């Protein structure tokens, strides 16, 4: 009676580990790129939400900078701002009676990874801006 042993040899195991390592080395950078793009998409959506807030503020007060009581406008702390606080700073820059600019500035790892679009912005006319090396189609 001949007994055969079942199992993997060390060589077979090492080949499998090498293949998994190669696949992971290819997949991980692609995954990181998609995560960065997803966060940028969230920042763009948040900027649009803040722009809608500013337009409602203007409709109510007739100006962007002060309410009817003379208090300065302040962006609300919404869920999108809370969700993005580790990756972007959403800010109101250059506010005047008839104009405003909203910006989403990347911070931490997002700033290091997203050099293509960098700081995203939108103003009262709906003009969308970015400060990176990419194109408008890539960033917005």
Q: List pLDDT tens digits, range 12-39.
A: 899 999 999 999 999 999 999 999 999 9
> Reading across the β-sheet that carries 120-123, which strands appear in turn?
88-93, 101-106, 120-123, 128-130
Contacts of 35 (CB under 8 A, 6+ apart): none
Indicate if the pLDDT at residue 117 is higher than 70. yes
Indicate if the pLDDT at residue 1 is higher than 70. no
Q: What are phi and psi of 65, to 5 degrees?
A: -90, -35
Indicate if the pLDDT at residue 87 is higher than 90. yes
Query: Domain residue spans in the chain?
Result: 10-139
pLDDT digits (tens, 9 = 90+) for 32-80: 999 999 999 999 999 999 999 999 999 999 999 888 788 889 899 999 9
Q: How far apart are CA 140 and CA 129, in angstroms?
A: 8
């Amino acid at each position: 009676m001949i007994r055969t042993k079942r199992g993997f040899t060390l060589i077979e195991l090492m080949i499998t580990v090498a293949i998994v390592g190669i696949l992971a080395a290819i997949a991980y950078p692609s995954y990181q790129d998609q995560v960065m793009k997803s966060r940028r998409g969230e920042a763009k959506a948040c900027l649009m939400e803040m722009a809608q807030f500013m337009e409602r503020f203007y409709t109510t007060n007739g100006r962007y900078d002060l309410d009817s009581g003379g208090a300065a406008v302040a962006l609300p702390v919404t869920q999108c701002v809370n969700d993005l606080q580790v990756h972007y700073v959403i800010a109101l820059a250059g506010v005047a009676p008839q104009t405003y600019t909203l910006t989403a500035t990347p911070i931490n790892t997002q700033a290091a990874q997203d050099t293509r679009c960098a700081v995203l912005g939108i103003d009262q006319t709906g003009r969308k801006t970015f400060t990176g090396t990419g194109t408008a189609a890539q960033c917005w």
